Amino acid sequence: MTILFYDGTFEGLLSAVFEIYERKLMQVKLQKGEWYNSALFAEVLKITTSEVNANRVLKGLRQRLSPAAVQRLYIAHMAEMENEEITLIGYIRYVFDTPKNIEDDYGNKYVIRLSEIIRMVRREKHRMEAFVRFKKLKDETYYATIEPDFNVLPLLIKHFKNRYADQKWIIYDIKRNYGLYYNLHDTQYMVLDFSTMNKPGDIIAAFTEDEGIYQHLWKNYFNSVNIPARKNTRLHVRHIPKRYWRHLTEKI
Partner 1 sequence: MNTERITEKLNILADAAKYDVSCASSGSKRKNENKGLGNASNGICHSYTEDGRCVSLLKILLTNHCIYDCAYCVSRKSNDIKRAAFTVQEVVDLTINFYRRNYIEGLFLSSGIFKDVDYTMERLVLIAKKLRTENNFNGYIHLKSIPGASDELMREAGLYADRLSVNLEMPTEEGLKLLAPDKNRQDMINPMQFLKNEIIQRTEEKKLFKKAPLFAPAGQSTQVIIGATPENDQQVLQSANYFYQNFNLKRVYYSGYVPVLADKRLPGLNTAVPMVRENRLYQADWLMRFYGFNVNEIVNNQQPLLDLDIDPKLSWAIRNMHSFPIDINKADLQLILRVPGIGMLSAQKIVSARKFGNLNWEQLKKIGVAINRAKYFITCKSNEFERRDLSGTSIKQFILAESKSKYLKNVPAQLSFF
From the CB of 251, what's the least distance to partner 1, in Å? 8
Residues 6+ apart with CB under 8 A from 78: 10, 151, 154
Least gap, CB of 6 to partner 1 (angstroms): 28
The stretch among 8-16, 19-27, 73-81, 136-144 that binds partner 1 (CB under 8 A) is 136-144
- The most distant pair of C-alpha atoms in the chain lies apart, rounded to whole Å, by 66
* Residue number with CB closer to partner 1 (236 or 243): 236
Long-range contact set of residues 110-114: C-beta below 8 Å, sequence gap at least 24: 113/84, 113/87, 114/72, 114/73, 114/76, 114/87, 114/88
Considering only residues 3 to 42 of the shown chain, the ones binding partner 1 according to CB under 8 A are: none
**Taking CB under 8 A as the rule, does residue 246 contact partner 1?**
no
- Which stretch, 49-57, 78-86, 147-155, 210-218, contacts partner 1 (CB under 8 A)? 210-218
Distance CA(73)–CA(91), nearest Å, equals: 9
Using CB under 8 A as the binding rule, whether residue 105 contacts partner 1 is answered as yes
- Element holding 114 (H helix, E strand): helix 109-131
Residue choice 7, 11, 80, 129 for contact with partner 1 (CB under 8 A):
129
How far apart are the C-alpha atoms of 121 and 151, rounded to whole Å? 8
Is position 245 an interface residue for partner 1 (rule: CB under 8 A)? Answer: no
Asked if residue 112 binds partner 1 (CB under 8 A), the reply is yes
Q: In whole angstroms, give the CA distance from residue 55 to residue 75.
A: 17
If one asks whether residue 43 binds partner 1 (CB under 8 A), the answer comes out as no
Among 9, 50, 108, 145, binds partner 1 (CB under 8 A): 108
Question: φ, ψ for residue 240 (rounded to 5)?
Answer: -120, 90
Q: Which residues bind partner 1 (CB under 8 A)?
A: 102, 104-109, 112, 115, 126, 129-136, 142, 144, 162-167, 210, 213-214, 216-218, 220-236, 238-240, 248-250
